[in-house]
Amino acid sequence: MKALVTGAARPGGIGAAIVARLARDGLDVETLDVEPGCTHQVDVVDGELPVLDHVDVLVCNAALTTMFGAAHSMRLERWQRDLDVNLTGTFRVMQACLGGMRSRGYGRIVVISSTAAVHGMPAQIAYATTKSGLLGFMKTVAAENAALGVTCNAVLPGMTASSGILGMPQDIIDAWVTTMPMGSLVEPADIAEAVAFFCGEAAGRVTGQALTVDGGHALNTMSVTSSAAPAKA
């Protein structure tokens, strides 16, 4: 079984964790990234993509995550770059793989979205918008290909201890951790496990679904009584 994971060149990132997890399941995993250290080094926006019609399992992970800007002030070129990478880049790679999946009557596509897609993300208007767009993308691809043995699902990571996040100032990381009900950030391996489920045979009848992995961050854990508050270790 041939798999492709985009955005997988960075050590310690979600993409690298997904590659390792799928390899443990016996998949032959290729990687695609704009950075060196991968199978195919290419810009998903406008680079010449390799032939990908042999891919059975596609994980669309490549995305910009640090294009900051608020709705009232974000420059148009920064907004456009987020759309180009996170939406258009994902579409280009998916389309390059989909024809082969449809002809073989088998395929697994997993899109890495974000909890920002459903909750918003102040100071990251373009990021939240593109990650929300990926959910509509996922639903449509799922609906168009359900009868052909091709599934499409999404994983929505919360605040994850990837190399990018861990490179932030420690006081910022500490502030994030205090908001996590489980007391720690999500690990890249947690995201990889969710991806592996969607890619496996057990999920053959699961399509058009979004799975959030955020350590309970989106839950309202506030309480009017101290006795009902979440237990602390």
Please indicate whether residue 127 is annotated as part of the active site: yes
CB 49 within 8 A of CB 94: no
In three-state secondary structure terms, 212 is: strand
**The pTM is what?**
0.89
Average pLDDT of every residue of the chain = 89
Cα-based distances in Å from 133 to 34, 50, 100, 161: 22, 25, 24, 24
What is the Cα–Cα distance from 163 to 211, expressed in whole angstroms? 22
Kindly state whether residue 229 falls inside one of the protein's structural domains.
no
Number of domains in the chain: 1
CA-CA-CA-CA torsion sign (4, 6, 120, 125): negative
Kindly state whether residue 224 falls inside one of the protein's structural domains.
no
Kindly state whether residue 222 falls inside one of the protein's structural domains.
no
CB 155 within 8 A of CB 213: yes
Kindly state whether residue 92 falls inside one of the protein's structural domains.
yes
Q: CATH number for the domain including 89?
A: 3.40.50.720
Kindly state whether residue 142 falls inside one of the protein's structural domains.
yes
Residue 170: domain span = 2-214
Among the listed residues 7, 32, 109, 127, the single catalytic one is 127
User: Token pair of 7, please?
Assistant: 């955005």
Of 149, 48, 152, 140, whose CA–CA distance to 109 is shortest? Answer: 152
pLDDT per residue as tens digits for the range 91-133: 999 999 999 999 999 999 999 999 989 999 888 899 999 999 9
CA atoms within 13 A on the CB side of 73: 7
Confidence tier at 231 by pLDDT (50, 70, 90):
low
pLDDT per residue as tens digits for the range 12-42: 889 999 999 999 999 999 999 999 999 999 9
